[in-house]
Amino acid sequence: MKNIIVVFGTRPEAIKLAPFILQAKSDRRFRTYVCSTGQHREMLKPLLNFFEITPDFDLDLMKPGQSLADISIGVMRGLHDILNAHKMDAVVVQGDTTSCFIASLIAFYHKVPVMHIEAGLRSGDIYSPYPEEFNRKATGLVASLHFSPTEPSRENLLREHYSDEDIYVTGNTGIDALFTVIKKLADSPELRASFDKTYSFLNPKKKFILVTVHRRESFGVPMEEVMKGLVALSQREDVELLIPLHMNPQVRASAEKIFGDHAQWIDKGTPAHMGQSRIWLCEPIDYVPFVYLMNRAHLIITDSGGVQEEAPSLGKPILVARKKTERPEAIAAGTSKLIPLEEKAFVDTASEVLDNPEIYRRMSQAKNPFGDGKACERILNIMAERL
């Protein structure tokens, strides 16, 4: 039996690692430990409850408005102590967050093999997304095995001269998680009915646009241009926007400044009517209702990594509010498109998708370039063979 420790800190890592942890825990080839760095304290809690995962170690390191250095120092100290006290045969990390990169670095210092899930994504610009492009490259440097979600991500690693025999194309574990939730929603009319009730304020006659924004490299002017674009878009009679706001204080500050009276918070009292406003704001939504809402959306606008992978599986057109994306597969599949971070061009691009039925139809094809829901099983089999 190999001792493995799975380390995560943020919402997307918890979502993408939950199916892996659950399968690893029931796999007799491994003794699986779970470490939450707590980089996202509040946003992790409902996910861990939903997937019924209790971390063996919780570094609980989130501080409001934390700097990249704060997170790094916390993960370094915490994981160093854990690896000193417990002998591990592998450290499993996912993606490109600071928790992921620093955990990999500490594993390397302890000479424990690093298993990198979602390896090989590249935008080609070290500042976009920031600091994630650096984090995933640096994690790759110390990883023993690289689990790439797609063939193009494997090719990125080959171009950087990683050894072919250490790279495996497995699909993205996020799709494993998504399929679990889709099945849960399909099997449970009660659950769907409860979400129908929660979101009954959405007007079924309007095109519902679901929006998320949170990227560090967009803070300030670019994010505020996007928000101004959203306000302009909301002036259309035929649309309605719901924006679950990321907890990052910088996102909140820009939202308050730009949305002002144009938007209404749904968490602060029952939304009985909207007046002139067609923008609803809310706290981050739990993963299952968020999947329900993606499924219900006419269009999704986001700068999220994970949502770029989920929307094509759900057959939802997606506009990516970023200068560059490391997920070109969705663009190649025709379901996703970059949207400029400048108010007027932003509105023009969104309006084109809303107004041109042919473009909308082409972008709504359900495609699944990111996986088939069996990534975790593949990764565990490879790890059992290689460790």
Catalytic residue numbers read 96, 118, 132, 214, 216, 246
Q: Which residue's CB is nearer to ligand UD1, number 63 or number 86? A: 63
> Is residue 139 near ligand UDP by the rule CB under 6 A?
no
> Could you say which of 284, 315, 328, 334 contacts ligand UDP (CB under 6 A)?
284
Residue 256, amino acid: E
**Minimum distance, C-beta of residue 358 to ligand UDP, in the bound complex (Å):** 28
Chosen from ligand UD1, ligand UDP, none, partner binding at 285 (C-beta under 5 to 8 Å by type)? ligand UDP
Tokens of 5: 């420790």
> Could you say which of 15, 93, 103, 117 contacts ligand UDP (CB under 6 A)?
15
**For residues 232 and 243, what is the distance between their CA atoms, to the nearest angstrom?**
15
Strand order in the sheet with 336-338: 263-265, 279-282, 239-244, 207-212, 299-302, 318-320, 336-338
**For residues 339 and 320, what is the distance between their CA atoms, to the nearest angstrom?**
6
| Residues 6+ positions from 358 with CB-CB distance below 8 Å | none
Give me the half-sphere count of Cα atoms (radius 13 Å) on the Cβ side of residue 262.
Answer: 20
With contact defined as beta carbons under 8 Å apart, do 37 and 103 qualify?
A: yes
* Closest CB to ligand UDP: residue number: 304
Q: What share of the chain is helix, strand, coil (3-state, %, to 5)?
A: 50, 15, 35
Q: Of the ranges 80-88, 153-161, 299-307, 348-356, which one interacts with ligand UDP (CB under 6 A)?
A: 299-307
How far CA 78 is from CA of 58, 72, 75, 215, in Å, comes to: 9, 10, 5, 26
Q: Which residue's CB is nearer to ligand UD1, number 96 or number 343? A: 96
**For residues 189 and 95, what is the distance between their CA atoms, to the nearest angstrom?**
34
The footprint of ligand UD1 on residues 210-229 (CB under 6 A) is 214, 216
> Is residue 178 near ligand UD1 by the rule CB under 6 A?
no
With contact defined as beta carbons under 8 Å apart, do 35 and 59 qualify?
A: yes
**Minimum distance, C-beta of residue 135 to ligand UDP, in the bound complex (Å):** 11
Question: Tokens 């029952």 map to which residue?
Answer: 270
Chosen from ligand UDP, ligand UD1, none, partner binding at 40 (C-beta under 5 to 8 Å by type)? ligand UD1
**For residues 130 and 108, what is the distance between their CA atoms, to the nearest angstrom?**
23
**For residues 171 and 370, what is the distance between their CA atoms, to the nearest angstrom?**
6
**Minimum distance, C-beta of residue 247 to ligand UDP, in the bound complex (Å):** 9
> Could you say which of 3, 23, 66, 144 contacts ligand UD1 (CB under 6 A)?
66
The footprint of ligand UD1 on residues 13-52 (CB under 6 A) is 39-43
Closest to 354 (Cα-Cα) out of 229, 261, 201, 215: 229
Q: Of the ranges 162-170, 195-203, 281-289, 354-362, which one interacts with ligand UDP (CB under 6 A)?
A: 281-289
Binding characters for ligand UD1, 180-209, by CB under 6 A (x = yes): ------------------------------
How far CA 4 is from CA of 27, 28, 275, 293, 378, in Å, comes to: 12, 12, 54, 35, 16
> Could you say which of 33, 168, 195, 290 contacts ligand UDP (CB under 6 A)?
290
**Minimum distance, C-beta of residue 256 to ligand UDP, in the bound complex (Å):** 18
Q: Of the ranges 9-17, 80-88, 330-338, 361-369, which one interacts with ligand UDP (CB under 6 A)?
A: 9-17
> Is residue 305 near ligand UDP by the rule CB under 6 A?
yes
With contact defined as beta carbons under 8 Å apart, do 83 and 94 qualify?
A: no
Q: Which residue's CB is nearer to ligand UD1, number 308 or number 364? A: 308
**Minimum distance, C-beta of residue 214 to ligand UDP, in the bound complex (Å):** 6
> Could you say which of 4, 5, 9, 12 contacts ligand UDP (CB under 6 A)?
12
With contact defined as beta carbons under 8 Å apart, do 60 and 41 qualify?
A: yes
Binding footprint of ligand UD1 on the chain (CB under 6 A):
10-12, 39-43, 62, 64-66, 68, 71, 96-98, 131-132, 214, 216, 247-249
Binding footprint of ligand UDP on the chain (CB under 6 A):
11-12, 15, 212, 214, 244, 284-285, 287, 290, 304-307, 310
